[in-house]
Chains A and B, each alone.
Chain A
């Protein structure tokens, strides 16, 4: 089984209408199917790790989006499945996100170590 690094860079892509993040959902499904996957959050996707996100339900006329995704919960589900999750510390700092405001269980790495980090994997999927 190849070691796969799933890099999630684009954030909040259809998370309201899908009620999940499509890249994280796909990663979880592949993990359930026996894949050996790790997730790396980069760019705006580091915001997924912030603890207290609470997207409100939206209504369009009489139709309501009842369960908008809380991305931090999606990450927790992945971690609970045994997926290791990392994020780029520099991307957190650039966005003024303190590590204490993030959910536990995610390891930070420096962008300067990215190439060495990536070289541990057989396949890279960039989302």
Chain B
């Protein structure tokens, strides 16, 4: 039987291994047939920002294609797709005030705007909750 995990993420993209760890937890939960709610708080609201762009890496001598730089928005979109393919629920809620502060309101499909009230509601309706804060 499916369970529901609610997670809060706080780190901005490309700053901490917390982000990849959190996304791996999301994927593992989905692959085991569970539903996941993510609340992106503070810098984590930039994870779904649509205007992220891949780049070449002159230091490594790689072209744009060779570098094939991973973009957090693509990782999130892929997880949203994985949930859909398996008839699971992955909600991705960006803290609205955090979005406004950073000007990152142009986000990928699958993300939405919310507040801590949405988080506490999701926590109440979930089997467990995890907060991964910046340090």
Which A residues form the contact surface with B (CB < 8 A)? 1-2, 4, 10, 13-14, 22-23, 26, 29-30, 32-35, 123, 125-127
Chain B 38-53 residues near chain A, CB threshold 8 A: 41-42
Question: Is residue B22 within 8 Å, beta carbon to beta carbon, of the partner chain?
Answer: no
For residue A24, give the distance in angstroms from its CB to the closest CB of chain B: 12
CB distance from A51 to the nearest CB of B (A): 26
B116 within 8 A of A: yes
Let me know if A30 and B116 touch, CB within 8 A.
yes
Main secondary structure of the interface of B (DSSP, over half): mixed
Q: Does B121 contact A (CB under 8 A)?
A: yes
Say yes or no: is B88 at the interface (Cβ < 8 Å to chain A).
Answer: no
When the two chains form the complex, which single residue of A4, A14, A29, A126 contacts B115, counting CB atoms closer than 8 Å?
Answer: A29
Residues of B within 8 A of A34 (CB): 120
Q: Are B131 and A125 in contact (CB under 8 A)?
A: yes
Asked whether A33 and B116 contact (CB < 8 A) given A2-B124, A123-B123, the answer is yes
**CB of B58 within 8 Å of the partner chain:** no
List, sorted by A's number, 11 A–B pairs whose CB atoms are closer than 8 Å: A1-B124, A10-B134, A14-B42, A22-B41, A30-B116, A33-B120, A123-B129, A125-B8, A125-B131, A126-B131, A127-B133
CB distance from A38 to the nearest CB of B (A): 14
Residues of the A chain whose Cβ atoms lie less than 8 Å from the Cβ of B59: none
Instruction: List B contacts of A26 (CB < 8 A).
Output: 41, 116, 119
Q: Is the CB of A33 within 8 A of B133?
A: no
Contact indicator B119/A23 (Cβ below 8 Å): no
Contact B42 A33 (CB under 8 A): no
B135 at the binding interface (Cβ < 8 Å):
yes
